[in-house]
Structure 1
Amino acid sequence: MLITKSYQDIPTKLDANGQPVRIFIISPHLPNYPNARFPGVVVFRRVFGIAFGPLRDFRIVCSEIYQVTGPVERFAGQIASRGYIVACPSVYHEFEGPEPIPYDVEGTDRGNKYKIEKKVEAYDEDATLAIDLLVNHVNCNGRIAATGMCLGGHLAFRAAFDSRVLASACWFATDIHSATLGKGKQDDTLVRVRRGDLTGRGEVMMIFGKQDTHVPRPGRDLIRQTLEDANVVSSFLEVQAQHAFIRDEHSKGRWDAALTHALFGCMMELFERTVARDLGTCSNVAADAEHVC
């Protein structure tokens, strides 16, 4: 399926500098079916950059905190080409314009600095605005999923607190186990899970590499136990890989293409089962828990 690319600048309330959040949109292109309706997916990454071309076309050019060309466009484009409208919010709009952050020591330091300067509430606002955009999109059917990697995996996890998000696939999500996201490095993600904010809601898929030094085994065990104790419908996939193993550029020798392909299929099975079809109201959440990837 062909895809088109565009963006919208959405005003925010929590940005003290008054900067809008730029949300990139990649959507299926069926010119003969202008009224076609598709489910929506919010894709979170750490930072986004663009390169302009004719007709306001763009390339999403980031991966993790580094704005390198290719990985995000390919990831989001693969989702969109399967019949989903993809919205990618620019995470660090409070600090940077849409220009790429260099893949170097200085760029790394900037990205990590911004991660703990931005308020958790501001991350949540960006997610809400992206979900609002999808729900109100003329070609969206209102059924929403979320996904992301690294910091984006954590943001996709938090997006599941929004009742409109029916599924979240979180790739090597950082800072959940340590509760160190955002300003003050004291987020409430697992606290909210324990108090039931995900119980009886959408499905969560967690994907980790067993050699991930950013989220070691005790951290992964804590996340898994917290989800299970709270009776959250979830899948927990641990594979033989390192952190950021799906990044196909500047991977530092960690990219595993075959494993990425297999797990991308697991994510799409989750999305196809939860948002691609409208099955009506679920009458048995416990029964649905048996049907996981």
Structure 2
Amino acid sequence: MQVRSEIISIQTETGPMRTVQFSPVGLDSAATIIFYSEIFQLTAPIMRSAQVLAGHGFNVLVPEIFHEFNPAGTVLEYDEAGKDKGNADKWQKPLTYYDSDVVALINYCHNSGTSSGGIGVMGVCIGGHLACRAALNPAIKAAFCLYATDIHSDTLPADPKEQTFARLDEIAGEIHFIWGKQDPHVPRDGRLKLYQKLNQSAINYQWLEVNAEHAFMRDEGERYDPALALEMYQKAVALFHRTLR
């Protein structure tokens, strides 16, 4: 399936949020996946990942997650300066701002005329956390969270009762967690803490640990694992085809 793209601006409670929408050519409407990026925002690898998903028959919305702090269109480099800026934005943005962002994205889906069926979420790194966070909203039917950072550590700005870890029991849709065993950002103790929390809950989740480092989905750099990335795309597409249609 060929894919077209357009840049849209979605109004949120904290200002306009530049978002790239990828849509399958030949479909007037389709189920939607909200795809959350790493701290570097809408880099070329993130855009390629979104295109892969859209090519399987989904609308894909890719928002600029730090729209409050940067000019529209800001993309950070995969270097120390980019990492420092992205992390600074991450520590600055309260989790509740992402909650209002996802409400705005859901409202866009309902009102745009291009979205039919359910809404799912997917993300990598902090985007994996944001996909999990978005799944707290009952409008989200499925979530695919890849090496989600900061859930286990409660380190993003929020009241303790508002931390994502404390609210995991609220997830109503199906959620999948994918982890790299060699990922220093979510070490074994952190994964165990999350797994025990989920295992004590009644939510519908799946859990998979693979032999990979952090950012193994990113098709730039030495940590990229093409075979694993392909497997993850297949798992994500299967989940969304099953739950959103």
Common fold by TM > 0.5: yes
Q: 1:39 to 1:259 in 2, by over 3 A?
A: same
Q: Which has the larger radius of gyration?
A: 1
Of structures 1 and 2, the one scoring higher in RCO (CA 8 A, sep 6+) is: 2
How far 1:94 sits from its partner (Å)? 1.0
The 8 Å contact of residues 33 and 59 in structure 2, kept in 1 or not, is answered as yes
Distance in structure 2 (CA, Å) of the matches to 1:41 and 1:267: 10
Task: Give, in whole Å, the separation in 2 of the partners of 1:247 and 1:185.
Answer: 32
Q: CA–CA distance in 1 between the matches of 2:225 and 2:232?
A: 11
Instruction: Provide the residue aligned with 1:9 in structure 2.
Output: 9
Is residue 138 of structure 1 aligned with residue 108 of structure 2? no
Select the residue among 52, 68, 92 that pairs with 1:78.
52
Taking only the aligned residue pairs, the percentage that are identical comes to 38
Please say if residues 41 and 65 of structure 2, whose CA atoms lie closer than 8 Å, have aligned partners that are also in contact.
Answer: no
Letter in 2 for 1:254: R
In structure 1, the partner of 2:216 is 245
Aligned partner (choices 192, 206, 213) of residue 221 of structure 1: 192
Matched, 1:197 2:189: no
- Alpha-carbon shift at residue 44 of structure 1 (Å): 0.5
> Matches of residues 1-293 of structure 1 in structure 2 within 5 Å?
1-13=1-13, 15=14, 19-30=15-26, 36-45=28-37, 64-66=38-40, 69-97=43-71, 98-182=73-157, 188-193=163-168, 196-198=169-171, 201-249=172-220, 251=221, 253-275=222-244, 277=245
Amino acid at match of 2:107: D
Distance 1:90 1:258, change over 3 A: same
Distance 1:104 1:11 in 2: 30
1:65: Cα distance to partner? 2.6
| Structure with more strand by fraction | 2
Length-normalised TM-score, structure 1: 0.79
**What is the CA distance between 1:188 and its match in structure 2?**
1.4
Stretches of structure 2 that go unaligned for 5 or more consecutive residues are none
Aligned residues: 244
Cα distance, 1:130 vs. partner? 1.4
Residues 69 and 159 (structure 1 numbering): CA distance in 2 closer, same or farther, change over 3 Å?
closer
Question: CA-to-partner distance for each residue in 1:262-285, whole Å, 9 max, x for gaps?
Answer: 12111111111111x2xxxxxxxx
Distance 1:67 1:162 in 2: 22
For the residues of structure 2 that align with 1:151 and 1:132, how far apart are their CA atoms?
Answer: 23
1:22/1:93 contact within 8 Å kept: yes
TM-score, normalised to structure 2, is 0.93
Does the aligned pair in 1 maintain the 2:161–2:167 contact within 8 Å?
Answer: no
CA RMSD, 1 decimal: 1.8
